[in-house]
C-alpha cells in the first residue's frame, strides 16, 4: 500500500473510532469524529446499519491496527510473519512488535503528540538510542535502551509542550521518562495490559490464517 496522504480524520471515521492520529486535536471538540462519527462518503450513514461479513469484520480490525501504528500493508504482513514465528500468542507478539517501534516509543514517551509526528521526528534524526544516532522509525527497542533527544532540539517549544501534556496523561509502565533531561528508558517489553486501545488481535490472526 502506498503512503496515505489524505485527511487523517477520514481514517478514524472509516474505522468507527478515534485512532488519535492528529495529536492534541483528537482530545478537543474540533475532532471530526466528534461531529461525524459515521463512515465518510455519500452512503456513510447507511453503512452503520449494514451487516458485515466475518471477513469484513476481520479486515476492518486489521486495517484499524495498521492505521493506528502508521505502517504499510507490506510492513504489517512482515510483522505478522515475525510474530507467528515467535514463541507465545501470535496476536500478543504482533502488538508487542508494533509497540517496540522507535516512532511509537517516542510518541509514548511524550516527545511527539502523534505517531505520525514521532515518525517524522525520528526520520529527521532528532533522537539517539544508547548514544548512537538512529533515524529509522521501525527500529525495534529492547529493555535497557535509552532514547534521548539531541541537545540542539531541547529548546523546541512544541516538544516541551508535548512532554508537559504527556506527563499529565501518564507514561506506560514499561517506559520511564526523565523529562528534565529529555530522556526515556525502556524498562521492560510491553505486555498486553500496557496496550489500552480497543484492539481484538485474535481477529487479525484469523484474517491471516484464512
At 52, the pLDDT band (50, 70, 90 cuts) reads confident
Give this prediction's pTM. 0.79
Predicted pLDDT at 43 = 45
- pLDDT of 180 > 70? The answer is yes
Structural domain including 107 reads: 100-186
Window from 19-33, 150-164, 180-194 with minimum mean pLDDT: 19-33
Specify if 149 maps to a domain: yes
Render pLDDT for 159-176 as a digit per residue (tens, 0 to 9): 999 999 888 888 999 999
At 210, the pLDDT band (50, 70, 90 cuts) reads confident
Render pLDDT for 6-31 as a digit per residue (tens, 0 to 9): 555 556 555 555 565 555 554 555 55
DSSP string, the chain: -PPP-S-HHHHHHHHTS----SGGGGGSTT-HHHH--SPSSTTHHHHHHSPPPHHHHHHHHHHHHHHHHT--HHHHHHHHHHHHHSSS-HHHHHHHHHHTBHHHHHHHHTSSSSHHHHHHHHHTT-EEETTEE---TTPBP-TT-EEEE-GGGTT-HHHHHHHHHHHHH---TTEEEEGGGTEEEE-SPPPGGG--S---HHHHHHHHT-
Predicted pLDDT at 42 = 47
Number of domains in the chain: 2
Question: Any idea what the CATH number is for the domain that residue 168 is in?
Answer: 3.10.290.10
At 106, the pLDDT band (50, 70, 90 cuts) reads very high
Specify if 24 maps to a domain: yes
Specify if 58 maps to a domain: no
Output the average pLDDT for the chain: 84
Specify if 73 maps to a domain: no
Same domain, 120 and 178: yes
Question: Any idea what the CATH number is for the domain that residue 9 is in?
Answer: 1.10.1050.10
Specify if 38 maps to a domain: yes
Final residue belonging to a domain, choices 16, 31, 51: 51
- pLDDT of 130 > 50? The answer is yes
Amino acid at each position: 500500500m502506498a503512503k496515505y496522504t489524505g485527511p487523517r480524520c477520514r481514517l478514524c471515521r472509516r474505522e468507527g473510532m478515534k485512532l488519535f492520529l492528529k495529536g492534541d486535536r483528537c482530545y478537543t471538540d474540533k475532532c471530526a469524529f466528534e461531529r461525524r462519527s459515521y463512515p465518510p462518503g455519500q452512503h456513510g450513514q447507511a453503512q452503520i446499519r449494514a451487516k458485515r461479513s466475518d471477513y469484513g469484520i476481520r479486515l476492518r480490525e486489521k486495517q484499524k491496527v495498521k492505521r493506528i501504528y502508521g505502517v504499510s500493508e507490506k510492513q504489517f504482513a512482515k510483522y505478522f510473519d515475525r510474530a507467528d514465528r515467535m514463541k507465545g500468542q501470535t496476536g500478543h507478539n504482533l502488538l508487542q512488535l508494533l509497540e517496540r517501534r522507535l516512532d511509537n516509543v517516542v510518541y509514548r514517551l511524550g516527545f511527539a503528540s502523534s505517531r505520525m509526528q514521532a515518525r517524522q521526528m525520528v526520520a529527521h534524526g532528532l533522537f539517539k538510542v544508547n548514544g548512537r544516532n538512529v533515524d529509522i522509525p521501525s527500529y525495534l527497542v529492547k529493555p535497557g535502551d535509552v532514547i534521548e533527544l539531541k541537545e540542539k532540539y531541547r529548546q523546541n517549544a512544541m516538544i516541551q509542550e508535548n512532554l508537559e501534556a504527556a506527563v499529565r496523561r501518564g507514561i506506560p509502565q514499561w517506559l520511564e521518562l526523565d523529562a528534565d533531561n529529555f530522556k526515556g528508558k525502556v524498562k521492560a517489553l510491553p505486555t498486553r495490559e500496557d496496550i489500552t486501545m480497543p484492539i481484538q488481535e485474535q481477529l487479525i490472526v484469523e484474517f491471516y490464517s484464512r
